[in-house]
Amino acid sequence: MKLIALILGLVLERLATRILHLRELRWFDRYFDAAIASLKGVPAWLLYPGVVAALFVPVVPVLWASFYLASTSMALEWTEPMAVVLWSLPYVVFAVLVLFFSLGPQDLGSEVYEYCTAVDADDAETAERVLTSLCEVEHSGTSDIEAVEEAIFVQATNRIFGVVFWFIAFGPVGAWLFRASDLFRRRLAYRAERNAEAIDEPLAAIENVHGLLVWLPARLAILGYAFSGSFDDALNCWRSYEKKSDLPFHRSNDEVVACVGKAAMTGFLEEIPNSSAAARNAMRLVHRTLFFWVTVIGVMTISGRVV
């Protein structure tokens, strides 16, 4: 069922472009602001439990609904096998909707297309706005090739691969937990730009928690880039990065993903010294890697290793 829900969720994301603004979940900002206020000034030993508790609260409804639908389906499997199909359908629909709202908060492909269109049309204002959204910081350069490539690979982990990994691992609950951690991180980063000293410790705590959730899907995304692009260049870059990096293992996710992603594009994509072409090439590699992931998940499902 997870494979079916995953494919339907990814297809829905591509088709429902007009309602993608609903996935930004702005109404969660008030909750996260309240959580931030409650975390200010708490003792260090309570900070991480507080962050985990703040993440767990929005996950509770999804956990309850998922458990209820799954347990009902399992109970019917023993008493009324024919009814399992009918009760499996609501769970699949529920999983698809949760996955759809967990992917994002904006469609990465649409943003990259908007950026490329703006660069090609010399629309500096739009290009800067989209690049700022991708980089999550103010960015004045519209033709920064390295910045746009790195941002695409980093956002692919936060918006796509991290969600898919935790969805396969723990179903809708895993996908929604990952999205909640990313939304919390984004909100804290936004608040920190305006008053960094007041929320410096909570920001570090949520970045570490989110970094732990990102670590494994980031490494699996790297393997996907290697198999979907230049394998030797990607692995050589990965090895050299790990040797020289002195960052904690959960804080190096963005850097290593960006480094290996750019290396994987060597040799199989046309290299043009233009940020628009670089963005399209990076997004093409992300799509190839996502297809590779779905293929592997499909094989694992057929072999009985994924339920």
Phi-psi region of 122 (alpha: psi -120 to 50; beta: other; left: phi over 0): left
In the prediction, which pLDDT does 93 show?
Answer: 87
In the prediction, which pLDDT does 182 show?
Answer: 93
Spatial separation of the C-alpha atoms in residues 55 and 35, rounded to whole Å: 9
Name the 3-class secondary structure at 32: helix
Lowest-pLDDT range, 20-24, 144-148, 189-193, 217-221?
Answer: 20-24
In the prediction, which pLDDT does 273 show?
Answer: 63
In the prediction, which pLDDT does 71 show?
Answer: 73
* CB of 54 closer than 8 Å to CB of 35: yes
Spatial separation of the C-alpha atoms in residues 237 and 163, rounded to whole Å: 25
Q: Determine the distance from the C-alpha atom of residue 81 to the mean position of all C-alpha atoms in its chain, rounded to a whole number.
A: 37
Reply yes or no on whether the pLDDT at 303 is more than 90. no
- Which residue matches tokens 């200010």? 40
In the chain, domain spans: 2-302
The single-letter DSSP state of residue 122 is T
Average pLDDT, the chain: 83
Name the 3-class secondary structure at 214: helix
User: CA-CA distances (angstroms) from residue 65 to 73, 181, 268?
Assistant: 12, 20, 45
pLDDT tens sequence across 121-135: 888 888 888 888 888
Reply yes or no on whether the pLDDT at 177 is more than 90. yes
Reply yes or no on whether the pLDDT at 54 is more than 80. yes
Task: For residue 167, name the pLDDT band (cuts at 50, 70, 90).
Answer: very high
Lowest-pLDDT range, 27-31, 226-230, 246-250, 302-306?
Answer: 246-250
Reply yes or no on whether the pLDDT at 151 is more than 60. yes
* CB of 253 closer than 8 Å to CB of 214: yes
When pLDDT is averaged across residues 173-190 and rounded to a whole number, the result is 91
Task: For residue 271, name the pLDDT band (cuts at 50, 70, 90).
Answer: low
In the prediction, which pLDDT does 140 show?
Answer: 60
When pLDDT is averaged across residues 102-114 and rounded to a whole number, the result is 86
Let me know the angle formed at the C-alpha of 58 by 54 and 62, rounded to the nearest 5 degrees. 145
